[in-house]
Amino acid sequence: MTIAIIGGGIGGLAVAAGLHKIGIKAHVFEQAQSFKPLGAGIGIGSNAMLALDRIGIADGVIKSGMPLHEQRFLNGELDVMNRIDFSRLKQKFGEETLTIHRADLHEALFHAVDPAHFHFDSQVTDFVQHANHVTLTFQDNVTRHFDYVIAADGIHSIFRQTLVPGSEPRYAGYTCWRGITENKGDVPLHISSEAWSKYGRFGWAPLYGGDVYWFACVNAAENDAYYAKLDKNGAARLFAHFSPEVERLISESKDAYFLHHDLYDIKPLDSFVYDRIILLGDAAHAATPNMGQGAGQAIEDAYELMRAIDQEPSMEAALARYETKRVRKTNKVIKLSRQIGWAAQWQNPLLIGFRNTVFPLVPKSLLFWRLTFLFK
């Protein structure tokens, strides 16, 4: 059986590693010419760590990760409103929740893939499905044929947007900066935090090796020209109302990791399998990053697809099982992430007053319970 994976992001690499583990050497086609510094940091939930462990690549990630014991939610004055106990997740499910430099995560995944089957500078520009195979066309007009294609080509997936009309990304209503900055002792180890104010949201988490990963979001029109132009000092001024430490984290960001993007998700899909094309990762279920689960869900896709292909008697049965395992769960992540972002970005003082009064009263056990569906 021949399989092509389109996209060498977290999802594409994880599924290539998983298939490699069960003896299938899929070809990965990535449009970039090389891996560049890939964004800033990323949180990997313990559910995704479980999947990485079962694919056999958790060790490389743990080595470069910073274990988190707690997530704190703060108000605009940086008073703690509530917490999620990640240590309890570890006790119950056996794996840490981590933060990691994206480049380190990528490297750990890339290590588990056969380099002879990884093709840079290979952009798929078109595809045609036939009864027994799929024909891919690349940017240089070369065509290649595969029995199955795993489309891990991200939120702007040409496969999804061709197979599911109307599935283009939806703007979430807020724009976001991200960065990595040296930890000068002002960010405690093992705790991630997120502060919600009338003027925007700021989140930060320690990284292994003495850095801090941070993100900052404000409500904005899509492609807002003013925000697009802001440099790190300009962005720092926007969030200085939180504290001098927050202003420092933004203004002292390392240049290569200071990033700005509008945020999007996609409307949940009913299906991830379209005959011989299988959607995976953001191509299938891009969510807003409010639960820190996008990459984690891509990794779970990879694990479930690997297991289904390994254990089911036919590819048809494996793909049916993949859909059963993945569609409902990832749809829930898209919806819950969008709801969290909606409440975290409130600007109306009445709504904020309500949120800041009620949220601290929500029992920690309930917040914990809301996450347990990720482990089912």
Ligand X SMILES: Cc1cc2nc3c(=O)[nH]c(=O)nc-3n(C[C@H](O)[C@H](O)[C@H](O)COP(=O)(O)OP(=O)(O)OC[C@H]3O[C@@H](n4cnc5c(N)ncnc54)[C@H](O)[C@@H]3O)c2cc1C
> Which one of 3, 4, 5, 7 is in contact with ligand X (CB under 6 A)?
7
Question: In the window 16-45, what residues touch ligand X (CB under 6 A)?
Answer: 29-32, 42-43
Which residue among 104, 153, 211, 323 contacts ligand X (CB under 6 A)? Answer: 153
Cβ atoms of 46 and 90 within 8 Å: the answer is yes
User: Which residues lie below 8 Å from residue 339, measured CB to CB, with a gap of 6+?
Assistant: none
Residue 84-123 contact track with ligand X, rule CB under 6 A, x = bound: ---------------------------------------x
Least Å from the CB of residue 11 to ligand X = 3
Q: Are strands 211-219 and 170-182 parallel, antiparallel or unpaired?
A: antiparallel
Contacts of 22 (CB under 8 A, 6+ apart): 306, 309, 310
Judged by beta carbon, residue 178 or residue 276, the one nearer ligand X is 178
Binder among 6, 49, 100, 327 for ligand X (CB under 6 A): 6
Q: Report how far residue 220's alpha carbon sits from residue 243's, in angstroms, rounded to the nearest whole number.
A: 22
> Which of the ranges 89-97, 105-113, 180-188, 289-297 carries the binding residues for ligand X, by CB under 6 A?
289-297
Contact between 194 and ligand X per CB under 6 A: no
| Residue from 60, 67, 289, 341 in contact with ligand X (CB under 6 A) | 289
Half-sphere exposure of 325 (CA within 13 A, CB side): 21
Tell which positions 265-284 bind ligand X, by CB under 6 A.
281-283
**Min separation Cβ 69 and ligand X, Å:** 17
Q: Which helix (H) or strand (E) holds 278?
A: strand 277-279
DSSP 219-250: E--TT-HHHHH--HHHHHHHHTTT-HHHHHHH
Location of structure tokens 């960065």? 179
Phi first, then psi: what are they for 128, rounded to 5°?
-135, 135
Binds ligand X (CB under 6 A): choice among 12, 67, 203, 341? 12
Give the integer Cα–Cα distance in Å for 283 and 300.
Answer: 14
Q: Detail the DSSP E strand segments found in 159-226.
A: 170-182, 191-197, 200-207, 211-219
CA-based torsion, 106, 108, 112, 116: positive or negative: positive
| Nearest alpha carbon to residue 66 among 197, 212, 262, 196 | 212
Q: Which of 18, 154, 169, 268 binds ligand X (CB under 6 A)?
A: 154
CB of 264 to ligand X, least distance (A): 8
Q: Residue 191 half-sphere exposure, CB side, CA atoms within 13 Å? A: 12
| Least separation in angstroms between CB 196 and ligand X | 16
* Residue 242 CB, nearest approach to ligand X (Å): 18
CB of residue 371 vs ligand X: minimum separation in angstroms? 13
Answer yes or no whether residue 208 interacts with ligand X by CB under 6 A.
no
Residues numbered 298 to 357 that lie near ligand X (CB under 6 A) are: 298
Only one of the segments 9-17, 51-59, 81-89, 226-234 lies at the binding site for ligand X (rule: CB under 6 A); that segment is: 9-17
Contact 218, 174 (CB under 8 A): yes
Q: How far apart are CA 101 and CA 209, in angstroms?
A: 10
Q: Which is nearer to ligand X, 42 or 163 (CB)?
A: 42
Determine if 136 is a binding residue for ligand X (CB under 6 A): no
**211 belongs to the binding site for ligand X (CB under 6 A):** no
Q: Is residue 8 involved in binding ligand X (CB under 6 A)?
A: yes
CB of 293 to ligand X, least distance (A): 5
The pair phi, psi for residue 191, each rounded to 5°, is -130, 130
Q: Which stretch binds ligand X (CB under 6 A): 56-64, 72-80, 295-303, 320-328?
A: 295-303
Tell me whether strands 259-265 and 211-219 are parallel, antiparallel or unpaired: unpaired
Which listed residue (178, 232, 307, 338) binds ligand X by CB under 6 A? 178
Count of residues near ligand X by CB under 6 A = 34
| Chain residues that interact with ligand X, rule: CB under 6 A | 6-12, 29-32, 42-43, 123-124, 152-154, 158, 176, 178, 215, 261, 263, 281-283, 289, 292-296, 298
